[in-house]
Amino acid sequence: MKRLFFIPILLLTFSLVAQAQSKVTFNVNLTPMLKDSTFVPGRDYVQVTGSLSPISTRPVRLYDTNPVDSVYTAEVRFSSRYSNSELEYNFEIVHPEGKKKTEQLPRKVRLTNRELELPPLYFNAFAW
């Protein structure tokens, strides 16, 4: 009988932990980079890297899901332990030979245990 009671509690605990994560949608507008060929789709890619795991250990690639707007997007889930922590992040353009063009200044956002969609600002633009 104890086993039957334990399974629902385990499922409820897992459900609460999964919901407590912060999901951040990163967006970057590459229109100027496309116009001057600093970024060439199919040859180059854009990624986000930052100060908290998982993007501190492994950058995440962004994709253009709607090619009309030149906005590249990726969703990243952060552990609930980072709730109310400040995330510093940057976008990077990676060229095939491994060269990277990284934004000059770090961007910052405070993580909460809610979903957050960041506006699609231009790559390396900080007048906001």
Here the CATH number for the domain that contains residue 37 is 2.60.40.10
In this structure, is residue 16 part of a structural domain? no
Count of structural domains within the chain: 1
Q: Are the CB atoms for 60 and 6 separated by under 8 Å?
A: no
In this structure, is residue 52 part of a structural domain? yes
The two structure tokens encoding residue 41: 């789709």
In this structure, is residue 107 part of a structural domain? yes
Over the stretch 18-43, which tens digit does the pLDDT of each residue have? 456 899 999 999 999 999 999 999 99
* β-pairing verdict for 121-122 and 22-29: parallel
Q: Exposed (0-12), middle (13-18) or buried (19+): which is 42, by Cβ within 10 Å? A: exposed
In this structure, is residue 62 part of a structural domain? yes
Q: What is the mean pLDDT of residues 90-112?
A: 95
Please list, in sequence order, all residues whose beta carbon lies within 8 angstroms of the beta carbon of residue 120, skipping any fewer than 6 positions away: 27, 28, 29, 69, 71, 73
Q: What are phi and psi of 15, to 5 degrees?
A: -60, -45
| The pLDDT of residue 11 is above 90 | no
In this structure, is residue 99 part of a structural domain? yes
In this structure, is residue 10 part of a structural domain? no
In this structure, is residue 127 part of a structural domain? no
Domain that holds residue 78: 21-122
